[in-house]
Chains A and B, each alone.
Chain A
Amino acid sequence: MTTNPKKLAKQPEHPLDDLIRTERIPHIWCPGCGIGTAFSSCLSAIKATGIPYNQFTMVSGIGCSARGAGYIKLDSFHTTHGRAIPFATGIKMANPKLKVIVFSGDGDLFAIGGNHFIHAARRNMDLTVICVNNLTYGMTGGQCAATTPNKAKSTTTPLGNPDAPFNLPLLAYAAGASYVARWTILQTRDLTTAINEAIVHKGFSFIEVLSPCPVNYGRRNKEKPLDTLKLYQDRTIIKNGADPARADIDFEKGVVIGKFIHIDRSTCDDRYTELHRPCSDD
């Protein structure tokens, strides 16, 4: 029983409770996992666009981050492994008015679904792809992924990863994405603004979100979740408009974050309508 007269009689609801399936909360993500922050940032961005909720669809593949589609109280689609972008492409082609958001992880989008990603970017499909990059395969137990940094330890590389990781913004840019940004979960306000811009942007938008995985990446690399966030605070360089080729992830020399690319290019839907539906009214 409270004696504080300033305290309201009934606690107000969380501002995002209208967008999440509250009966499924608390979610499955581990304590200290950044996916929840990226997800809530995405929800805030959806809210901030002011577009009616029935014009959004969230599509996700398989993995920790992909569970997001099950927690959002919008039309959402949890698809097969790596195939989130093909499903999203289908949704977008069938109903071009929808705003389709792909919320998935690095393993799903770049290892298993790498080809789908580059071809959707090449065709400039009007999708918003949010990739939560936790540098490992979190759900299956911390195996070495396509994004695991060089020398980082994982279940399958106990002595350190000998290979170089993917530079995701460069890959997206080279494949033809028209909006490319990278933020960490610590720069939450910038991340929300970026997702908001990406939703409004017409064309293939790609946002990489660096996020800690304390259980399967941090534990093997001696990083507590707060250490990872300190790393994001101290070793990141915000440089909007930077060359994506310089944005490789190496915390020793600093990770470049920011909005890299924001250009206008005709989308797949525009070109398809022009070429194949010459008589259509709309």
Chain B
Amino acid sequence: MAFWRVPLDAQEIQVIRGMVCIIDDRCKGCGYCIEFCPKDILHFSDKFNRKGYHPPVATKPDECVNCHYCEIICPEFAIYSVEIPAETVQK
């Protein structure tokens, strides 16, 4: 920890917030989004979808930074993220 300094403009930087949307019935449970999410916010859910797979669920939805990686790695067009406008984010 001691090696990291806080950037001088850390207070002014607006971290972009995203919302993960999952289309459960398209998911085939490959787990790519869960494995490669840089913030590690996705996990397999316990419920089944219509095809019998476990779709992912965002366990820490507030930590999404809208990087879109789940969206572009998903082979099923089943997950995507949308940006939450800064003014609606509650601190």
Contact = CB atoms under 8 A, between A and B. Distances in A.
Chain A's interface: helix, strand, loop or mixed, by majority? Answer: loop
Contacts of B28: 26, 30-32
Interface of A: 6-8, 11-12, 14-17, 20, 25-27, 29-37, 39-41, 44, 185-186, 188-189, 192, 225-226, 229
Interface residues of B, number: 27
Interface in B20-48: 21, 23, 25-26, 28-32, 35-36
Nearest to B35: A226
For the complex of A and B, list the 6 residue pairs with the smallest distance between their C-beta atoms, beginning with the closest: A36-B75, A31-B28, A32-B30, A188-B72, A37-B75, A31-B30
Contact of B84 (A6, A32, A226): A6
Contact of A185 (B26, B35, B69, B73): B73
Given A12-B21, A26-B28, A26-B51, A34 B75 contact: yes
Given A36-B74, A37-B74, 20 more contacts: A6-B19, A6-B84, A6-B88, A6-B90, A7-B19, A20-B77, A25-B26, A25-B76, A25-B77, A26-B25, A32-B28, A32-B32, A37-B75, A39-B75, A40-B75, A189-B72, A192-B72, A225-B30, A226-B32, A229-B36
Nearest to B81: A15
B72 A44 contact: yes
Contacts, number: 76
B34 to A, nearest CB: 10
Contact of B72 (A6, A26, A34, A41): A41
Contact of A27 (B51, B69, B73, B76): B76
Contacts of A37: 32, 72-75
Contacts of B16: none
